[in-house]
Amino acid sequence: MMFGRYNDTFRYEFGDILVETVRIGGLLTYQRRCEGQTFERILVSKTGEIIINPVEPVNLPKEITDYLLMEFSPMLIEPGVSQTVYLKFPIEVGVFLEAARDIEVLDVFGLGTQKYTLYGPPTSGVIARWYQSAVYTEAPPVESFREGVMELSIQNASHEWAEVSCAVFDSVDMKIYYNDVVTTTAAMKIITPTMAETDFTDAPLRPDMTRSIELYTARKIPVINRGYLMEWGLS
């Protein structure tokens, strides 16, 4: 398992991923290779630790948005009914440097390709990382370091049937937990057949999971848990 805390030198290799710290000429050097792309930094540290954990999937190939749009098979939901489903969501791997009083983002990498989309009209919509998933009734097996499991509770609080085939999230609120699998828990409350509120829940899917350090925490960006109002339709 690549995720966790590391001191001094370490090496982890899995498929196309190689993450290691080595001493080159007496200097500690962080090296990463992922699908042919490489990254290297010299680390000058006495007590610092390296933390590797899954992070919000909106940073690659470069950070242009906070939003994640999950597209899934269309569901028709009866008024007043709630349903919990499981989706696969993309993950990225964050590497952090932690000292006694500070934490810094060292590297972010991920497997596979990314695709972005526009949610809403060009004039007032938002750019979002797009990902497509099938709908599962229980946590599906996922590909390591590429995907995680999202538990999505959908509640139709409107008085009409609602068709849902996508959910847009503000990744700033995302809470990721991991052990051998990466998970997040989210909720979607349908207000009208074309409008819904989405939010993440700060709870692990299973006991004994570790909470990820979010990039927003590491970047010291103040975050107010705000959720997201999907006002441009649910499909």
Count, residues near other proteins per rule CB under 8 A: 20
Q: Does 127 bind other proteins (CB under 8 A)?
A: yes
State in angstroms the smallest separation of the CB of 201 from other proteins. 25
Residue from 75, 105, 126, 139 binding other proteins (CB under 8 A): 126
**C-beta closer to other proteins: residue 127 or 135:** 127
Sole residue written with tokens 């074309």: 194
Q: In what order do the strands lie in the sheet with 103-109?
A: 4-6, 49-55, 92-98, 103-109
Q: Does 61 bind other proteins (CB under 8 A)?
A: yes
In b/e form, how buried is each residue of 51-89, taking b as 16+ CB within 10 angstroms? bbbbbbbbbbeeeebbbbbbbbeebebeeeeebebbbbb
State in angstroms the smallest separation of the CB of 165 from other proteins. 12
Q: Does 47 bind other proteins (CB under 8 A)?
A: no
**C-beta closer to other proteins: residue 22 or 64:** 64
Contact in structure between 69 and 119 (CB atoms under 8 Å)? yes
Q: Does 120 bind other proteins (CB under 8 A)?
A: yes
Sole residue written with tokens 């966790």: 4
Q: Does 114 bind other proteins (CB under 8 A)?
A: yes
Q: Does 36 bind other proteins (CB under 8 A)?
A: no
Contact in structure between 76 and 193 (CB atoms under 8 Å)? no
Contact in structure between 225 and 217 (CB atoms under 8 Å)? no
Summarize as ranges the residues that interact with other proteins (CB under 8 A). Answer: 60-61, 64-65, 113-120, 122-127, 130, 222
